[in-house]
Structure 1
Amino acid sequence: MIDIQNHPVISNLLKKLNPETQPVFGIMTSQHMIEHLILLAKLSNGGIKGQLMRSEETAVKWKQGLIYTDMEFPMGIRVPGQEENTLPELRYENLQKAIEKLENELKIFEEFYKDDKEKSMMHPALGLLNYDEWIVFHSKHFAHHFKQFGLV
């Protein structure tokens, strides 16, 4: 896992990334990966509202396995609702701008939960997650994608 709360470590790892960095697995480019992490950070910090994209029963099982065990993200896992072998359009001017946005969204995340760690935000595949659950999710999610690009 990556210590998502250790912003200097995250920033140092992200500095190793460049637009030419090739993935070890998957089809994302480095910028697609960062923009994907931005989306999940925004879901967790109230920047956008998520909606559950699978049954409650399935979400509970996935949440239990991913958040409350040592289970890592499986390689090849797909974003719910995204077609196989497709990538969304890039939203940011370049990789550096995307990295800056990600770092900012992580700061917003900490601020969002500062006074109430029990409030919950919807994850599209896992259901409602509180602060501690989002920390576990982000830590595993970042580790998965940092492995994808050889950063860890």
Structure 2
Amino acid sequence: MSNHFHSQKEVENYLSTTVAELLSQLTPEQKPLWGKMTPQHMVEHLIVVYKLSMGRFSVPVVSKEEDWPKLKEYLMKDSPMRRNVPSPNGKSELQPLRFADLEEAKQKFFAETETFLKFCEAQPEFIANHPYGGPLTAQEWLFCHKKHIKHHLIQFELIPDYE
């Protein structure tokens, strides 16, 4: 069953170890299976989502409050995400790149992963809004990050699609 809920430890290991191993294989030339992000845009996007989950900035919630419970359940589950979902801010163009190159972006991403994992350990009940799922605790964001990162690993063919 691919959509069971993993233990927190498994998810932490996945984010700190497996993702690093997979992203080390990502090259600037790789093309996405869908969407228009470059590898560097994708890695920088993942950094931004980590920052969002730690309350470094916030975004408006675009979903209705009565839908939060089922959206949250979907976000916690290790299952495929819909593809080509427009950005919740309604902008379809790529964001400007912040780092010099893909390598630098990867290093920042690995550092941000460790920052988030420490944050989650220190403040598991910290709440930050998810643009679709509404208020999530840091612990809930942990599961959400795994699902979201896997989605982008599939996008760049670093892992096979969900069976």
Q: TM-score, normalised by structure 2?
A: 0.81
Aligned to 1:145, the other structure's residue is in SS state helix
Contact 2:128 2:135 in 1 (8 A): yes
Aligned to 2:91, the other structure's residue is in SS state coil
1:150 is matched with 157
Contact 1:45 1:108 in 2 (8 A): no
Aligned to 1:96, the other structure's residue is in SS state helix
Q: Is it true that 1:26 corresponds to 2:35 in the alignment?
A: yes
User: Structure 1 57/45 Cα, relative in aligned 2: closer, same or farther at 3 Å?
Assistant: same
From 75, 82, 94, the equivalent of 2:90 is 82
- Counting matched residue pairs gives 150
- Root mean square deviation of aligned Cα: 2.1
2:84 maps to a residue whose letter is G
Q: Mind listing any 5+ residue stretches in structure 2 that lack a counterpart?
A: none
Q: Larger deviation: 43-52 or 97-106?
A: 43-52
Aligned to 1:93, the other structure's residue is in SS state coil
1:132 is matched with 139
From 103, 109, 119, the equivalent of 1:96 is 103
Q: TM-score, normalised by structure 1?
A: 0.86
Q: CA deviation at 1:103?
A: 1.0
Q: Mind listing any 5+ residue stretches in structure 1 that lack a counterpart?
A: none
1:14 is matched with 23
Q: Give a deviation string over 1:12-51, Cα, whole Å, max 9, x none.
A: 1111101101111111110111111011011112332343
Contact 1:51 1:124 in 2 (8 A): yes
